[in-house]
Chain A
Amino acid sequence: MEQTAACAGCSLGTPEQKKALDKLIRESRSTPGCLMHILQEAQGIYGYLPLSVQKEIAQGLDIPLSEVYGVVTFYSQFSLNPKGKNRISVCLGTACYVKGSDKVLAEVEKELGIKCGECTEDGLFSIDSCRCVGACGLAPVMMIGEEVYGKLTPDKVKGILDQYKEASK
């Protein structure tokens, strides 16, 4: 889940977001080992961790950007990309995987023209993979928001996504 600098966010969001980030860094920076905490909270503020936010954190803590980026890319909980209005999560847990969820994921990626971990340009969809949503009986499974779709096959994907596209119009 890597991204080039060119498409990473380049602003620090709304004035409220910027203010919240500044406060977060100011209040946490003297605590040893605060980086993880700051990244978690910052992701809460922005929904993801773009280049601009990581730079701000690196400067605030006086550590290299490479260190921040290393931690962000190490933990799957951190995202370098914004999340869509509809967050798709394809289960790649054991049961779903043996039932072909990798092919479902590939179909979702193909249908939306983005890779797992990315967000569509219109902000409508983002794709992630997850491990087990507790619905193994319905494998393979994906979630869109809180909605669970089970017993999927690649040919069912387009119809499901179309419902969301339709609903947003």
Chain B
Amino acid sequence: MANVNLKINNIPVSVPEGSTILEAARAAHIEIPTLCYLKDVNCVGSCRMCLVEATGARGLVAACVYPVSEGMEVQTNTEKCRKSRKMTLELLLSTHKKKCLSCERNHNCELQRLSAEYGADEDYFEGSPRGYAIDDSNPCVVRDNDKCINCMRCVAACKKQHVGAIGPIARGFASHVGSPFNVDLKDSNCVGCGQCVVACPVGALTLKSDVDPVWKALADPTKKVVFFTAPSVRATLGEAFELPVGTNVEGKMVAAIRRLGNCEVFNMDITADLTIMEEASELIHRIQHKGTMPMFTSCCPGWVKFVEQSFPEFIPNLSTCKSPQGMFGGLLKTYYCEKNGIDPKDLFVVSVIPCSAKKHECKRPQLNGDVDVALTTRELGSMIKTAGIKFAELEDEKFDDPFAACSGGGTIFGATGGVMEAALRVAAKMLDGKFEVIDFPEVRGTAPIKEATYNVAGLTIRVAVASGLENAAAILKDIKAGKRQYDFVEIMACPGGCVNGGGQPTLPDSIRNSVDVRDLRAQALYKSDKENKIRLSSDSPVVEMLYKEYFEKPNSHKAHEVLHTSYNANPKV
């Protein structure tokens, strides 16, 4: 494609034809403020924050949607631009619920950040209060429309997830975001993936806080508190403490949790390994006994809820394996309690997860309340700050036995393609003891849909990996129409997998719009996998111990009792 030459603030820059002024400005190392724009999610030019002066245009133009042209001269920082942006901010602030001190997004709010940069006066215009009720009916997501700036990033994110639980309603001053017929979010078809929360630039969408019961349990001498942390949390928690994106902080994370109170800290990668053992065995069983194919992974609760609600005909295709969170809860309340003579009622189980859907997963009756609280990476970060722990200065510590050592296969669960790769390693080994391939690069990376075919021990295994429910829906529709045939499909609800989950630290737009956060975070996990001496889940000494002492073999009766689950159709439009 041809390049276009233009000048931005008198700096010459050459960008591909069809680029927007915003993209060209980034190439010239100039930041243009945005609010409704979010890379890969929303680009509609409605908030008017990114207005700039451009030759050949009448008045100011929205840089996020305005295409560049040859010889164009753009000014991004004139008095006219600054005045316009300041007024836009003051108009937004006129109806904004300005409870900033108690807002979860205080110090991490795009509206606050820009208001400070432009010296906007929050009381310059006196707007009528909007007076929407806070919707906290949903087990994960809380909506406070009085803080909403109608940027529609959440709506775009939800639509991109092929869920569309929310949309713009009414017009003019009455326009607001909500579910059809203004039903509560709990009655909508929300799957709880939390991508709307990730997209929200302000505090209008947050996740339910479960911090208080954890503090309470930590202070209760009758409770034994155990934490376990999901694979991707180590790759993102550092961001809450200003460490670079993609820093693996496993050791500091363990040390910090230990300093919150009397507790043990376990590694959820163990049950990721266990999931692989069970899932790979289930796959081989389905292939050899002509079971329902293709088999879908079931470790992502947002995806499971999506199937139950929107594609219930595919429930038999879901692996019966619980998610690693569900497995760990079951393992702790059975094996661990039995072995250590603990009454399961006295064991308080906290999972630390990157995900908002895992909050509602805990409440599924099939999980028997095995996990008491699911804390997001953000919540853990805030607890560490409340406790006054100097995170960046901590010495690395190791997870507690017996759930410490994992395989690299368990660790890469946190990135899209990771479950598939870990399962392929083990399935191949189970089918052909001499199979030596460890890396499956075809299923790595953040491409929306990845496909590959492998030949193992005379069997052809056709696999697909998709992240983002939009891509999942595309695969399901094609399977239904007979256009695609697979044996094994991995789906993660969030684009990029758990590293981009709804509970991960919220990075400023300026970072999210300029680097591929998902890829940087995933790289930390793949690096950890590569450095691990144990790459196969089946080689993990903990997995070996669990089967020897408790489960006997994958898919045994005991394994089915503790590690497998069932699903219910719950169609919703």
Interface residues of A (CB under 8 A from B): 2-5, 8, 51, 54-55, 58-59, 63-70, 73-74, 80
Contact = CB atoms under 8 A, between A and B. Distances in A.
B166 A74 contact: no
Contact of B169 (A8, A58, A69): A69
Contacts of A70: 167-169
Contacts of B485: none
Nearest to A2: B182
B312 to A, nearest CB: 14
Contacts of A8: 181
Interface stretch (B17-25, B157-165, B410-418, B497-505): B157-165
A66 B170 contact: no
Contacts of A55: 573
8 contacts: A59-B573, A64-B167, A66-B155, A66-B164, A73-B170, A74-B168, A74-B171, A80-B181
A64 B573 CA distance: 8
Interface string B144-181: 00000000000100110001111111110001000111
Given A55-B573, A59-B573, A74-B170, A69 B181 contact: yes
Nearest to B477: A62
Nearest to A65: B180
Contact of A64 (B163, B170, B182): B163
Most buried by B among A59, A65, A66, A73: A66
B187 interface: yes
Given A4-B182, A55-B573, A69-B180, A63 B170 contact: no
B181 A3 contact: yes
A63 B164 contact: yes
B183 interface: yes
Contacts of A65: 164, 180, 573
Nearest to B162: A64
Which 9 residue pairs of A and B lie closest in terms of their CB atoms, listed nearest first? Answer: A64-B164, A66-B167, A69-B180, A70-B167, A5-B181, A65-B180, A73-B170, A70-B168, A74-B171
Contact of A69 (B158, B159, B167): B167
Contacts of B164: 63-67
Interface in B198-256: none
Main secondary structure of the interface of A (DSSP, over half): helix
A116 to B, nearest CB: 13
Most buried by B among A8, A69, A73: A73
Given A5-B183, A66-B180, A58 B167 contact: no
Contacts of B179: 66
A43 B165 CA distance: 24
Nearest to A63: B164
Contacts of B158: 64, 66
A74 B166 CA distance: 15
A8 B180 CA distance: 11
Contacts of B166: 66
Contacts of B169: 2, 69-70, 73
Contacts of A58: 573
B405 to A, nearest CB: 45
B181 A51 contact: yes
A64 B171 CA distance: 19
Interface string B40-65: 00000000000000000000000000
A143 B195 CA distance: 48
A54 B155 CA distance: 19
Given A65-B573, A67-B159, A2 B170 contact: yes
Contact of A54 (B159, B171, B180): B180
Given A54-B180, A68-B180, A5 B170 contact: no
Contacts of B187: 5
A78 to B, nearest CB: 11
